[in-house]
Every structure is written in structure tokens, then in C-alpha cells.
Homo-oligomer: A and B are copies of this chain.
């Protein structure tokens, strides 16, 4: 195991997903510990460390990918939190989901908006959301 790669991945995972990400990794510790190791090493240690796009752009893309794929509501929950963590506003997040309507249709977009609603409610203090809507 490449220790340096694991550590930079873990740091990036903490920065992006925060507790939500580490909870998922831990929950698989007794059945598929390498799933979490690969998420840390490959997804966060390799992909999320790349240049050319910043973390806000990466989360817009991730949310579009999970929205389109369907059946990934638990992962959307993690990445909707991540999107807020890296500085996207609730309005930008909802807008990213809305942009998928012409490409993937209303149902998948509805599922993603419902997941966003839940995350925004859980975080209550999300700036601008409770106030502006």
C-alpha cells in the first residue's frame, strides 16, 4: 500500500465529504474494507487531487453524474453535503440538478431535488436557504 497516496486521499476525503464520507468507509470496515481504501486512494488520492478543475466544479459534475445514474440517493446525500462543504450555495446545487432535466428527464431530477431538500433541512443553518425561499 502506498502510504503517501492513502494519506493525501484521506485528507482530501475529509475536506470534501467530511464525516459523511468517513462514516460510509467505516460502515464497510467489517465486510469490504478495501472498498473504502480504494475510495480514499483512487477517488480522492488520485482523481480529486487532479488539476484543471477546482473542487466546486468537481462536485457539480459528481452531482450531475449521480443524478443521472439513478438509484444513488445515499451517495447523493454524501455529495450534496460535500457540495456545501466546498463552498457551493444551495441555489447553485439545485440549479445543477435542474440543468439535468433536458438530458435525463423529470423523475431522476425529482429524486435528486428531494435528496437536496433533506440535506438542506438537516443542516438548517445553510446560509440563504431558509431565508430566501
Residues of A whose CB lies within 8 Å of any CB of B are 2, 5, 24, 27-28, 30-32, 34-35, 38-39, 42-43, 46-47, 50-53, 57-58, 60-72, 74-75, 89-92, 94-111, 113-114, 116-117, 120, 133
| A48, chain B: closest CB distance, angstroms | 8
CB distance from A31 to the nearest CB of B (A): 5
Complex copy number for this chain: 6
Judge whether A39 and B106 touch: CB under 8 Å. Answer: yes
Contact of A67 among B42, B65, B110 (CB under 8 A): B65
Pairwise interchain contact B31-A94, C-beta atoms closer than 8 A: yes
Listed A/B pairs (26) with beta-carbon separation below 8 Å: A27-B114, A28-B114, A28-B117, A31-B94, A31-B116, A32-B113, A38-B46, A42-B102, A47-B98, A47-B101, A50-B95, A52-B95, A57-B92, A57-B96, A60-B60, A60-B61, A61-B99, A64-B64, A64-B68, A65-B65, A65-B100, A65-B104, A69-B103, A69-B105, A69-B108, A71-B108
